[in-house]
Chain A
């Protein structure tokens, strides 16, 4: 008996309200997410539009409506453009080593190791360290009297500069990128590891039988096998890496991004405007937030496209252009035709059907079953 068409039983008021129950309850059950999203997600974003359109004092609140003036002001600030350059520079300097290291560590952990869980847990340790602590420690390491500076100054590099890792723009980026790499590599490695574990082991066996070495297996089996994860990691890395703040803020004691904005990242710039020395620049900070959100979206899309094309070049079944397939088929049929013709001329009954009748339906696999 088909139960779905049975009309609902009516049992008075209770039944009526229980029908409301059925309709409403699911929404109530999922409502906590939407309510909290509305309060903590949607409202701030919408409110940010209002702030970006006004002159806004930190304490006194809304001032005059200024329209797009705040955006114009931000675009005219050299510091804004410097901060964008710094952000991308630090991002690139941290992303490349991060990807390479995370893949290598994951591949290593994917082997049959003794005390596997221990190793897997230990790569996550840097991630558990507070970013502020990381920044303070690395700030010491890269300082004038730290581990690295005396070494490179002994080599005659930056010998006449005090604290080159704080004065030189590129070196400060390297130092901050090192902190980011230190913190996130293990985390990404574990994500890669999870993906690698899902690659069918038969593929490795087949590769071994075919004589492929470890490296070859990594390039031809592992990498194509974790392609979707690769895209995921690169995208989250892009969004997270562009939002870099803690490390740059905590790098030196003052936290404003360097006397010459050497390591002023865009989010740090936003923070300085909104919460730093200037009490009346909330509107400008909001404008920076919007402009930067736009930059992140554009850049993420570019990265998405790039990652897809890189990750797909070696993966999946071999991709042969349709024209080549057609040519090969035509060639095979031509030779078959030729041999059939020759056989007919020789009086031998043909084993090869010369040409498929276009009207005849293509036999499908399903029909065989």
Chain B
């Protein structure tokens, strides 16, 4: 009998331990001693030499938790923040498009010490919440147009970068001149002008000072009264009806295959997308970058490195964040993924501006983007983005996609965008 009782007590003890273990968190936040390993969550490759140099400096190994794309990294971050930091890495990459949403509670994130003169000013402003730096800038997304010179040549149109830039409007390029060039191209070719009209539309929306939300209140602007968005939407929707676009946006299962089948002649290309295009269009020759962009250029995306405040080793993680955003790191990231640096020193580095890119026919891609970024200036920072920016943007791009697949006319698509927006019942001014 004693034996049985002992077992019973042991069982109780075991169960209690299990439950307690499940309820308590292990470790003290912000422990003093150095950890063996720090983790970084990212969806692009981080050059090996960066991780090694950090290990040499501090004795801390860095492990990369890699995600296939930004969206999946975003989902993990959303859920981690909602559950008080469970499952988060020590350092996270955050993209500009969902920056506001992640910063909804600034206390979730460690405040990073100022680093004098490392970045362009507007990048620091974007990465700050209430005057505290919450993210160190990695890259910015100056916009250019990538084009398939083979398809242009077949259509009997200018196929060299300078000629192409003139063809879409040159220095004075507008969306109208870009679309007009598309009409000429589709008349002469079987291919589409661009992958999807959602991309130029998004670039145009990014230039608005306050696209979907009121900067003063953070509330949404009623879609039925949002005249600038309606104009942009109708312009691209009307173009999307014909052969101007293939209706396959980046991220779609068919996007990579579309490059391989040479389905479209142009792609609106932020600097960070050059690496993605090179990967998806591998083996296709003729892709080039033209140093031209409608409406004087702009910025799309670009990321920040942030440190969740709930981490066990915040101090060391901040050190790592600084390491990953040094000028040398930015140059290494440019070579690895084509991301254009937001670090002043790296921007002017000949290793960025004068490196030939073998995929883009040995063009000096870094130099082209540097010039476009300089021309766009502070305007490249883009407008205000509230917490619902990403959600509303999805509604609008879905409208364009419905026109592209032929299921709706531009008017019907706009009406359904308005209806979808209204049914959400977002607070408006």
A166: interface (CB < 8 Å)? yes
Given A161-B406, A252-B253, 18 more contacts at CB 8 Å?
Answer: A18-B4, A21-B8, A22-B4, A31-B15, A32-B15, A58-B78, A59-B104, A59-B108, A76-B423, A143-B253, A144-B257, A145-B254, A166-B253, A167-B407, A252-B252, A254-B71, A276-B391, A277-B391
Question: Which chain A residue has the least Cβ–Cβ distance from B423?
Answer: A77
Give the chain A neighbours of B12 by CB distance below 8 A.
28
B21: interface (CB < 8 Å)? no
Question: Which chain B residue has the least Cβ–Cβ distance from A19?
Answer: B1
Kindly state the separation between the CA atoms of A24 and B19 in the bound complex, as whole angstroms. 19
Kindly state the separation between the CA atoms of A276 and B405 in the bound complex, as whole angstroms. 24
Check if B1 sits within 8 Å of A58, measured CB to CB.
Answer: no
B248: interface (CB < 8 Å)? yes
Tally A residues with Cβ within 8 Å of B. Answer: 48
Give the chain A neighbours of B408 by CB distance below 8 A.
260
Asked, given contacts A32-B15, A167-B407, whether A143 binds B254 with beta carbons under 8 Å apart, the answer is yes
Check if B1 sits within 8 Å of A18, measured CB to CB.
Answer: yes
Kindly state the separation between the CA atoms of A177 and B116 in the bound complex, as whole angstroms. 57
Question: Which chain B residue has the least Cβ–Cβ distance from A24?
Answer: B8
Kindly state the separation between the CA atoms of A335 and B180 in the bound complex, as whole angstroms. 100
Check if B251 sits within 8 Å of A253, measured CB to CB.
Answer: yes
Asked, given contacts A73-B425, A145-B260, whether A277 binds B390 with beta carbons under 8 Å apart, the answer is yes
B75: interface (CB < 8 Å)? yes
Check if A166 sits within 8 Å of B254, measured CB to CB.
Answer: yes
- Digitize B17-32: 1 where CB-to-A-CB distance is under 8 Å, 0 elsewhere: 0110010000000000
Kindly state the separation between the CA atoms of A29 and B406 in the bound complex, as whole angstroms. 63
Give the chain A neighbours of B406 by CB distance below 8 A.
160-161, 167
Stretch at the interface among B140-148, B361-369, B372-380, B394-402: B394-402
Give 7 nearest A-B pairs by CB, closest first. Answer: A259-B401, A277-B391, A167-B405, A253-B251, A145-B257, A18-B1, A139-B253
Check if A278 sits within 8 Å of B81, measured CB to CB.
Answer: no
A354: interface (CB < 8 Å)? no
Check if B105 sits within 8 Å of A275, measured CB to CB.
Answer: no
Q: How far is the CB of B263 from chain A (nearest CB, A)?
A: 8
Tally B residues with Cβ within 8 Å of A. Answer: 56
Kindly state the separation between the CA atoms of A320 and B378 in the bound complex, as whole angstroms. 88
Question: Which chain A residue has the least Cβ–Cβ distance from B399?
Answer: A259
B222: interface (CB < 8 Å)? no
Check if A28 sits within 8 Å of B8, measured CB to CB.
Answer: yes
A208: interface (CB < 8 Å)? no
Check if A59 sits within 8 Å of B247, measured CB to CB.
Answer: no
A60: interface (CB < 8 Å)? yes
A224: interface (CB < 8 Å)? no
Q: List 14 A-B contacts (CB under 8 A).
A: A14-B2, A28-B8, A35-B15, A39-B19, A139-B253, A162-B254, A162-B405, A166-B254, A166-B405, A167-B247, A253-B69, A259-B405, A260-B407, A275-B79
Interface residues of A (CB under 8 A from B): 14-15, 17-18, 21-22, 24-25, 28-29, 31-32, 35, 39, 58-60, 73, 76-79, 136, 139-140, 143-146, 160-163, 166-167, 251-256, 259-260, 275-279
Which of B69, B71, B248, B419 makes the CB contact (< 8 A) with A144? B248
Give the chain A neighbours of B18 by CB distance below 8 A.
32, 35
Most buried by B among A18, A73, A160, A162: A162
Kindly state the separation between the CA atoms of A29 and B12 in the bound complex, as whole angstroms. 9
Question: Which chain A residue has the least Cβ–Cβ distance from B395?
Answer: A277
Kindly state the separation between the CA atoms of A39 and B108 in the bound complex, as whole angstroms. 27
Check if B1 sits within 8 Å of A253, measured CB to CB.
Answer: no
Check if A254 sits within 8 Å of B105, measured CB to CB.
Answer: no
Kindly state the separation between the CA atoms of A84 and B283 in the bound complex, as whole angstroms. 43
Give the chain B neighbours of A166 by CB distance below 8 A.
252-254, 405
Check if B258 sits within 8 Å of A145, measured CB to CB.
Answer: yes
Most buried by A among B401, B405, B424: B405
Question: Which chain B residue has the least Cβ–Cβ distance from A252?
Answer: B253
B388: interface (CB < 8 Å)? yes
Check if A39 sits within 8 Å of B252, measured CB to CB.
Answer: no
Q: How far is the CB of B328 from chain A (nearest CB, A)?
A: 33
Give the chain B neighbours of A28 by CB distance below 8 A.
8, 11-12, 15
Give the chain A neighbours of B388 by CB distance below 8 A.
277-279
B101: interface (CB < 8 Å)? yes
Kindly state the separation between the CA atoms of A25 and B388 in the bound complex, as whole angstroms. 55
Q: How far is the CB of A162 from chain B (nearest CB, A)?
A: 5
- Digitize B47-85: 1 where CB-to-A-CB distance is under 8 Å, 0 elsewhere: 000000000000000000000010100010011011000
Question: Which chain B residue has the least Cβ–Cβ distance from A20?
Answer: B5
- Digitize B333-349: 1 where CB-to-A-CB distance is under 8 Å, 0 elsewhere: 00000000000000000
Asked, given contacts A21-B1, A76-B423, A260-B407, whether A162 binds B246 with beta carbons under 8 Å apart, the answer is yes
B255: interface (CB < 8 Å)? yes
Check if B15 sits within 8 Å of A59, measured CB to CB.
Answer: no
Give the chain B neighbours of A79 by CB distance below 8 A.
420, 423
Check if A163 sits within 8 Å of B254, measured CB to CB.
Answer: yes
Kindly state the separation between the CA atoms of A143 and B251 in the bound complex, as whole angstroms. 13
Q: How far is the CB of A280 from chain B (nearest CB, A)?
A: 8
Give the chain B neighbours of A276 by CB distance below 8 A.
391
Q: How far is the CB of A138 from chain B (nearest CB, A)?
A: 10
